[in-house]
């Protein structure tokens, strides 16, 4: 076998070109784009196949030199929820196989699918193309269902079955952390020898600490008053991400320390997603109900450059998720030199080093969250120490290292490829 020269990626339910922070676009979108860019920089041609969600999308779009995004027509462009997409798997698979059929036999050297829906299609393509299937779960239904947020819906049985099928079909599974690898083995009976841990990365050129004068300029640009205490939430607004936990904690904090109201700003950067789409104004209503709508500021999703400025301008970034396979927001914020207050769940226990780059909070009760946030607001030496430790912690996560490890995984998968069933 020669080196990997052409790679197919499948990201069925969300396009890597979508703006992260709303709808179904989030950390996985960033992962697919950044990994593809780094692989292309190593002279590997990457074709990303995703479902077309607009008639204005070109059939093939060059995202970056060496990276082509193929918009596959499967079902109506709009109106389909993620739970309705399984009905479109056959059409998507047919069009994927048709696209590959236009090339000589053996066009792709490997296939990397993202999320269980893509894995279902990838399993079929793997058998037809006779190339290894490497799969990344990104999130797992059994893990999510074990720690549901209040008001969230359990993942359906169809997903549980589908994930199990993908685990059994894949030649190699990529886990974001050691904990996720254990979950794949213990909850899905994955073969330990077919699970590789590859940390996702951070663009350390975009997400980087600012000097104090540049940080002050960023605050002015974002209309954040000088001397204010800024507690930021960034991400999709849905129960899984727990933005309500931050708001309830802020209410507790202000009840305890009402004098902070005049200097506290709580930006929420992101848009409704998942079950949050059913009640898109629920968070604004909660802020009003808690009597903190004067300190909470809702900001639509922004691009990476602007997001980096929000991170750098904040005193702390809250990540109160009920589950994270990795926790990209936490890693990006730390890379900007900003302490993170995160729930002690999933990959966040790997990304955040407690008392070094941020604070980990057990559970989602507002009281301990308020205490943790107040520590950062009140304790300037602690805040300075965490600001110094945050970029050091984030520095171990780079997309270059992710690409190198994924390439090793693709090569290993080629030596372990199962015979088609």
In the annotated binding site for UDP-N-acetyl-alpha-D-glucosamine, the residues are 19-20, 27, 236, 241, 302, 324, 332
SS (H, E, C) 323-384: CCCCCHHHHHHHHCCCCEEEECCCCHHHHCCECCCEEEECCCCHHHHHHHHHHHHHCHHHHH
**Per the structure block, which two tokens stand in for 17?**
């070109």
The DSSP bridge pattern shows strands 340-343 and 358-361 to be parallel
Give the N- to C-terminal CA distance of the chain in Å, as an integer. 23
How far is Cα 116 from Cα 404, in angstroms, rounded to an integer? 24
**Per the structure block, which two tokens stand in for 133?**
């299937």
Q: Which residues are annotated as a binding site?
A: 13, 19-20, 24-29, 82, 115, 139, 159, 236, 241, 302, 311, 314, 324, 332, 338
Q: Which residues are annotated as a binding site for 1D-myo-inositol 3-phosphate?
A: 13, 24-29, 82, 115, 139, 159
The DSSP bridge pattern shows strands 67-72 and 60-64 to be antiparallel
Q: Which residues are annotated as a binding site for Mg(2+)?
A: 311, 314, 338
Q: Can you name the residues that pair with 62 across neighbouring β-strands?
A: 68
């Amino acid at each position: 076998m020669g080196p990997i020269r052409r790679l197919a990626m499948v990201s069925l339910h969300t396009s890597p070109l979508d703006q992260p922070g709303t709808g179904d676009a989030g950390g996985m979108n960033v992962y697919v784009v950044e990994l593809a860019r780094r692989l292309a920089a190593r002279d590997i041609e990457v074709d990303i196949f995703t479902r077309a969600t607009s008639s204005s999308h070109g059939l093939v779009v060059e995202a970056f030199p060496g990276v082509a995004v193929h918009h596959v027509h499967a079902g109506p462009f709009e109106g389909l929820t993620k739970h309705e997409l399984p009905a479109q798997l056959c059409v998507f698979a047919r069009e994927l196989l048709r696209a590959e059929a236009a090339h000589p036999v053996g066009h792709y050297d490997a296939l990397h699918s993202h999320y269980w829906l893509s894995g279902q299609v990838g399993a079929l393509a793997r058998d037809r193309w006779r190339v290894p299937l490497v799969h990344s779960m990104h999130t797992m239904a059994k893990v999510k269902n074990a720690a549901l947020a209040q008001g969230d819906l359990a993942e359906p049985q169809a997903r549980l079955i589908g994930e199990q099928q993908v685990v059994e079909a894949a030649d190699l599974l990529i886990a974001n952390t050691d904990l996720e690898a254990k979950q794949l083995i213990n909850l899905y009976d994955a073969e330990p020898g077919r699970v590789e841990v590859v940390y996702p990365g951070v663009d350390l050129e975009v997400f980087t600490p600012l000097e104090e004068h540049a940080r002050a300029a960023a605050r002015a640009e974002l209309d954040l008053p000088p001397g204010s205490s800024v507690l930021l939430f960034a991400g999709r607004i849905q129960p899984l991400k727990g933005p309500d936990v931050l708001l309830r904690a802020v209410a507790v904090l202000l009840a305890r320390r009402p004098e902070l109201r005049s200097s506290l700003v709580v930006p929420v950067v992101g848009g409704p997603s998942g079950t949050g789409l059913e009640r898109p104004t629920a968070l604004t209503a909660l802020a009003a109900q808690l009597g903190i709508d004067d300190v909470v500021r809702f900001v639509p999703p922004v691009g990476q450059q602007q997001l980096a400025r929000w991170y750098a301008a904040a005193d702390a970034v809250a990540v109160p998720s009920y589950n994270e396979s990795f926790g990209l927001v936490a890693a990006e914020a730390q890379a900007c030199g900003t302490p993170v207050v995160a729930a002690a769940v999933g990959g966040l226990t790997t990304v955040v080093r407690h008392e070094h780059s941020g604070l980990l909070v057990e559970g989602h009760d507002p009281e301990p969250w308020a205490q943790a946030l107040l520590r950062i607001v009140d304790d300037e030496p602690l805040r300075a120490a965490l600001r110094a430790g945050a970029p050091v912690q984030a520095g171990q996560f780079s997309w270059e290292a992710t690409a190198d490890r994924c390439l090793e995984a693709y090569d290993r998968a080629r030596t372990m490829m199962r015979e088609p069933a």
